[in-house]
Structure 1
Amino acid sequence: MRRFAPALALSALALPAPALADLPAPVRAMIDAAIETGDEDTVRTVIDLARTTNPGEAAEIDAILAAYETDLAAAAEAEAAAEQERIRTAGLFDNWSGKGELGAFRSTGNASNTGITAGLSLVREGIDWRHKLSGRADYQETEGVVTREQFLAAYEPNWKITDGLYAYGLAQYERDRFQGFSARYSVSGGLGYDVLTGEEMTLSVKAGPAWRRTEFVGGGSRSDLAGLAALDFDWQLLDTVTFTQDASAFVQSGSSTFISDSGLVAKVAGDFSLRLSYTVEHDTDPPAGAVNTDTLSRVTIIYDF
């Protein structure tokens, strides 16, 4: 159901209506009242009824509809132009949306324990650019000894080439001492495409060359050229339940990294949701003393803003 500003309704009421003398006054009053509501569905329903009950004045009724549709298109165009201008003139801290997460995790692999997890993701949509910021931390301490410490921070700008095609850049930092590295830096750039953009299902894929530098806990470091491929899939199963699947692969001559994150998000109340997720991270050639595969089960509360 589409609604428009009162200005549109008033404008439509003031439109010149040539050759409407034969249209009964009550019928014209009914059409005018429908236009005044600003509800397009109501207007079209009333006009259809007026045409059915007054077949002799069909041409005059069609003239009213044509004038209404012209005004409708002009209002939509003006609204779109105003929205674009608002985005173009927005300040640095405007037009951001995002979500925060807080909850608990259970891990297996290099460390088997339970701890707390927190995450934050932000998106800023512009005319030609989209900016993404994300961060996550998993931490657990037992009797004063840290048994889980994993941090990730990433920044990804997108430049929109067409409606679906975009160029991306990525800068990412990771820290996971239990996987054997005190820091891992990743930089990538390439192309992405929004394959699905429906209300119930979205799918975005991207790929490009990458460079990674790993600083090991035991000392020393390594730099490698790599290739990055990733996907982001969301499927709204029910009005309040969404399935999410994120996957990425850094493929290189050294230790390649494959990550899969599957989740179910259920709306709880207002802007709050509950998320259950399962993450698998596999390194083909981890540092000495570390195992290849880590898994992480998370239960988090999400706040959308």
Structure 2
Amino acid sequence: MKKSVQFATASVLASVLALPVMAQQSELLGIRGLDDRIDDIERDVAEDMARSQDAARFGNPEYRQGFSGSASLGYSGKTGNNESQDLTIGLRLRDAQGAFVQTLGAALDYSESDGNSTKEDVFAIYDANYYFNDRAYGFVMARVQSDGLADRLSADEIAAGTVLSDKVQRDGFLGFGPGYRVVNSNDMTWRVQAGIGVSYLEYGDGSSVTEEAGILSSRFFYQLNDNVFFTNDTDILTSDAALRANNDFGVNFKVTDAISTRVSYLSEYNDSRAIRTDNKLGVAIVFGF
């Protein structure tokens, strides 16, 4: 059972936003810089539009059987008045064997300016799902996020009174549990999953906390008509150290065949922070003509 609303995608964005190829891509005139900036906008809007798409929304996703994957690498280096290096690496591996699907993803983001590291971020996640039928499934999930600069304080952080024990250097979680599709129809789907596991937090001053944790997730989809659908995705991770919760509500609608829009509201809650809640309003619009 699978039905989806078709919206403008990255390929449409590319045709709409891309500047004509010019024989002389002059950096001095700013043409290349503008081209790169438009590419960044195109990517960000495409990612925002794609957030509402869920390959597992209607049941066992129809992944290609066997092993598959993709990898990407980006590097730039600059010398002269300023010296800097930027390196990004992305990796996604998937193995599908019948009803058992495993996915491994990893991303590395490194930046250096005038010989000093300004970013050393690593994020990796392992996700395994076994689909018993169209409604019931089991999952195993592991993730780790690392900030290589969490043991250092910038001048602004020192001025703000930040201490190393406030900065998370490594954040890890390993959990497993069942999942179930409460509603699984063409116009509405809702699935929930809950599990138990272990949470690990290591701070910039070297202290760490390892404890039992629980995770609860909900994925809701409702299609009002052929042009409008709503999504609401919720994740809650709780342990003695902190209660962390994210809720992402979005409305996607196709105004015309040439205009698609997504409006989203993301709330992130963490009761271990001084300001517990962060909210973000997002609007993505794609024009084609």
Q: TM-score, normalised to structure 1's length?
A: 0.48
Map of 2:67 onto structure 1:
92
Deviation at 1:233, TM superposition (A): 0.7
For residues 196-230 of structure 1, what are the alpha-carbon distances to aligned partners after superposition, in whole Å with 9 as ceiling and x for unaligned? 11111111101110211112234422112111111
- The alignment status of 1:295 with 2:279, answered yes or no, reads yes
CA distance in 2, matches of 1:90, 1:276: 35
What does 1:23-172 align with in structure 2 at a 5 Å threshold? 90-93=65-68, 127-131=98-102, 153-172=124-143
Which residue number corresponds to residue 196 of structure 2? 209
1:184 and 2:171 correspond:
yes
**Cα deviations across residues 51-103 of structure 1 (Å, max 9, x unaligned)?**
xxxxxxxxxxxxxxxxxxxxxxxxxxxxxxxxxxxx89834128x9xxxxxxx
**Equivalent residue of 1:254, what SS?**
coil
2:209 to 216, 222, 226: 222
Does residue 1:250 correspond to 2:237, yes or no?
yes
Offset, 1:168: 0.5
Relative to 1, partners in 2 of residues 1:208 and 1:91: Cα closer, same or farther, differing over 3 Å? Answer: closer
Q: Distance in 1 between matches of 2:92 and 2:256?
A: 20
Partners of 1:227 and 1:251 within 8 A in 2: yes
Residue by residue, what CA displacement relative to the aligned partner does 1:237-259 show, whole Å, maximum 9, x if unpaired?
22122211111111212211121
Specify whether residues 131 and 232 from structure 1 end up closer, same or farther in structure 2 by C-alpha distance, changes over 3 A only: farther
Instruction: Measure the CA separation in 1 of the matches of 2:276 and 2:170.
Output: 18
How big is the shift at 1:121?
Answer: 9.7
Aligned match of 1:194 in 181, 186, 207?
181
RMSD over equivalenced CA pairs, Å = 4.4
Distance 1:284 1:199 in 2: 38
Q: 2-side partners of 1:299 and 1:157: how far apart?
A: 32
TM-score w.r.t. structure 2 length?
Answer: 0.51
Q: More helix by proportion, 1 or 2? A: 1
Q: Would you say the 8 A contact 1:276–1:298 is kept in 2?
A: yes
Match of 1:283 among 246, 270, 288: 270
Task: Tell me, in whole angstroms, the C-alpha distance in 1 between the residues paired with 2:221 and 2:214.
Answer: 24
Q: In 1, are the aligned partners of 2:67 and 2:95 still within 8 Å (CA)?
A: no
Q: Which residue of 1 aligns with 2:86?
A: none
Unaligned runs of 5+ in 2: 1-61, 71-89, 110-117, 151-156, 158-165
Equivalent residue number for residue 238 of structure 1:
225
Q: Which amino acid aligns with 1:128?
A: A
- 1:193, distance to aligned residue in structure 2 (A): 0.3
Distance in 2 (CA, whole Å) between partners of 1:93 and 1:134 is: 12
Aligned partner of 1:266 in structure 2 is 253
Contact preservation (8 Å) 1:255, 1:283: yes
What residue identity is the alignment partner of 2:217? A
Residues 188-197 or 159-168, more deviating: 159-168
- One-letter amino acid of the counterpart of residue 137, structure 2: Y
Q: Is the 8 A contact 1:165 1:194 kept in 2?
A: yes
Aligned-partner SS, 1:92: strand
Provide the C-alpha distance between the structure 2 equivalents of 1:197 and 1:121, rounded to a whole number of angstroms. 28
Give me the identity figure in percent: 28
Amino acid at match of 1:298: G
When residues 121 and 281 of structure 1 are mapped into structure 2, their CA distance, relative to the original with a 3 A threshold, is farther
Contact 2:68 2:93 in 1 (8 A): no
Matching residue's letter, 1:231: S
Equivalent position amino acid for 2:136 in 1? L
- CA–CA distance in 2 between the matches of 1:294 and 1:149? 23
- Kindly indicate whether the alpha-carbon contact (under 8 Å) linking 2:65 and 2:96 is maintained by their aligned counterparts in 1: no
SS in 1 for 2:68: coil
